[in-house]
Structure formats: C-alpha cells, structure tokens
Amino acid sequence: MAILIRVLLMMSLPTRLITLRKEQRLTQQQMADTTGIHVNSSKKYEAGQAQLSLNALKKMTLTIHVSTDFLLFEAHGRSPSDDFFLQFETLSQFDKEERKDAKSVLESLILKHNAKRDFSDQIQEAQ
C-alpha cells in the first residue's frame, strides 16, 4: 500500500484522478453519476484540459476516498515525512475509538511542544 501511495504522489493530477477512479472500479460515467459532475467535465479533468472547481474537487475526493491534499499535492507537497508516513497510514486503519485516542495523544503532544516553545520564547525575550 505504501508503495502505491508513493507512486500516486509522483503522478500528475489527471493521471492520479484516472488511477484512483479505476482503483475504485468506476467507469467515467459511473464517476460522473456518483459525483453529479457531467461526464464531459469529468473527462476534461482526467485529460488535463480543465481545472477542478472546489465543488468538483470535494465531490471527487469523497467518491474516490482520498483527501484533497492527497489528490492535489505532489510528492512531499503536504505529506508527512518518511519517519511518520507508515504510522499515519496505519492510523487510517484504526476504528473510530482508536482514532479518537490517537488524535488526543497527538493533540496533547502538540500542545506540550507549543507551550515549551512559547515558554522558551518568553525567557529569551526577558533576557
């Protein structure tokens, strides 16, 4: 799975759209029917002949089950570092309660980091 994700991130947006649609086993017409986007518009997005509107982007990401960041940004555009990539991929397999717990732990670590940084900044300002 990690290899597939890395390969997808190296693709252009139109190629990524096609690959993800096919991974969901959807034809262009089925994608259009599911998203409510006219099939001709969908074909233009996949051919790189038109830019996705925000509304179309939202509908497509929901249909192909990816985030907008994943669809839009190329490798290293907004993805976690290699150190955390596999851990975040594993988190996506957690059930709802486990994800809630993981989110709480991450949020507490972020708060701790921010507090430590703010305290350090205050000490430097006082000196």
Query: For residue range 1-35, what is the model confidence (pLDDT) as tens digits?
Result: 555 566 666 678 888 899 889 989 999 999 999 99
Reported as a single tens digit per residue, the pLDDT across 26-50 is: 999 999 999 999 999 999 999 999 9
Q: What is the pLDDT of residues 46-98, one digit of tens each?
A: 999 998 899 999 999 999 988 888 788 765 444 556 667 777 778 878 899 99
3-state secondary structure of 8: helix
- The residues, ordered by sequence, that sit 6+ positions from 76 with a Cβ below 8 Å of its Cβ are 9
The larger pLDDT score, comparing residue 102 to residue 75, is at 102
How many angstroms separate the Cα of 82 from the Cα of each of 23, 72, 89, 110, 112? 24, 19, 11, 19, 23
Compute how many other C-beta atoms are within 10 angstroms of the C-beta atom of residue 1.
Answer: 10
- Could you tell me how far CA 95 lies from the centroid of its own chain? 19
* pLDDT value at residue 91: 83
State pTM to two decimals: 0.53
34 or 127: which carries more pLDDT confidence? 34
**pLDDT, tens digit, 9 for 90 and up, residues 106-116:** 889 889 888 88
Coil, strand or helix at 53: coil
End-to-end CA separation in angstroms for the chain = 51
